[in-house]
Structure 1
Amino acid sequence: MHTIDRGARPDLQADCANCAGLCCVALAFAKSADFAVDKAAGEPCDNLDDGFRCTIHPHLRERGFKGCTVFDCFGAGQKVSQRLYSGQSWRDEPEQRASMFAVFPLVRQLQELLWYLDEARRMPAASALHPELERAAAQVEALTLSPVERILATDLDGVRAPIATLLREASRLTRASLPQRSAVEPATAPSAGKRRKTPRIAPGADLLGADLRGHDLRGADLRGALLIAADLRDADLAAADLIGADLRDADLAGADLRGALYLTQVQVNAGKGDARTRLPGTLTRPAHWHS
């Protein structure tokens, strides 16, 4: 099995105790299957209490707020609250409210880039890229700690483009290091102890509702793939590139995701798994998954 060292990075994980509930205020959401009500950007969610805690957090899905359970700020909340605004909240300093709410989603995107860069730096097969990845991470980290005015003026597309190239190359090197897959021979059903062999899938493929049960997806390039409600039960996704893949309602029961590349907690939360689903050590099994 392909594995990478996924040491925990607390600074890239949400710490709600040190945040002023920014995701519950700064961001907008529309009434839908993911949210029970409409909420405008900059308006506090009705479920946010005076201590910046969600009053229905254990019951978000049952109360119609599934979208909240698949959001991750990658540590942007505490960085904005504690580092950029020195622990002051939007309630304490209402004149800073607008800038705080504007900078939060930008820092969130930068923190996500840092998470992906950290993931790439843990890929042994991409060791030749580690110095470039480290330089890129240092530059992004410095940007997240810049004056608010500089962050607000940042060209995120310009920051993201060279990093995306590095992440793709780290993925390519890692996937190329796997043992060569055998020729494709479609099967009608998985046999005991065997994986269904799968044809090569183009990045960004439309696999909505696709039957991929028991497939050998080791080293597959699934970046940006539309995997909504796909059947991935018992599939092997070792070293599969899942950056940007949409796993909403994908059936991950029994799937092996331990060595998947760029797999985030958001993607895991969006899917449906069970006790047999194998996850990387730093990702948490969602409470809504079957036992």
Structure 2
Amino acid sequence: MRKSKRCLRIGTRGSDLALAQTEQVLQILRERWPHYTYEIVKIKTTGDKVRNLALPRIGGKGLFTKELEVALLEEKIDLAVHSLKDLPTELPEELCVGAVLPREHPGDVLISLTGAGLEDLPEGARIGTSSLRRQAQLKAARPDLNFVPLRGNVPTRLRKLEKGECEAVVLAWAGLRRLRLDLTGRMTLLPYQVCLPAVAQGAIGVEMRKEDRELRKMVEVLDDPTTRLEVTAERAFLRWLGGGCHVPIAALARVAGAEILLEGLVADPEGKRIVRGQESGSTAYPEEVGIRLAERLLREGAEELLRG
């Protein structure tokens, strides 16, 4: 008699985007490992529960991931699916990122009812975003703009735009793509020189217990080596800076052959001072590239910005 396969419990937040990302993971696992059974476990995080405050005011790390990690540690779930940009760079000793899926375009998009780009928005236009990273960079490009705190899932943010609470909103392109939202004629992609993305933006990470060797072998099918290299460099940059959500930090790594190029920045919240630079190195040592860039920016003024 064939031994029955285990049921894999996959933890996720309950938003439409989080569930879409989890289904992406499930589809690959079901195709590769059809004899296993799978269960989605929805878990509310602190970031989901506290919606009336901007994220920097809530404080702490892991606002959208801590409860999922606790469930992993308590063996209530076997995998946790995250937007990797939400996952702290330092994990509990017992956990690891078992897989990083192929990355969507990591950039941000500006969405307005008229389709106006950043340079076409009226003087003093209200922009919906609670991200200090986005605010600082857009203020540097357009100091006249006003920013409206914007929390909630993607449909909620778009409804606030339609209600006239702001003239435009800024969202990650990857989220719109995964939700299959067609905003043709209403959105423009923000170039990286104007708005560098958050660390690991556009990437999905699958977190798990290190000791689960059976599962570690299974989730290897999900892992994309190029994306893994990119986010490893970016996360090393963020970890070395020691930054959280209180200071605007952005980074983007790109692999070209055997080389990895990393661009990053640290800014003051008003966008009046931005310390920005690049480093490159071998794909064999992505963390070293991230650390070198962090050290360079610290020497050039980022340390003062991080101290506030």
* Shared fold per TM-score greater than 0.5: no
Q: Could you say which structure has the greater relative contact order, defined with CA pairs below 8 angstroms and 6 or more residues apart?
A: 2
TM-score (norm 1): 0.28
TM-score (norm 2): 0.27
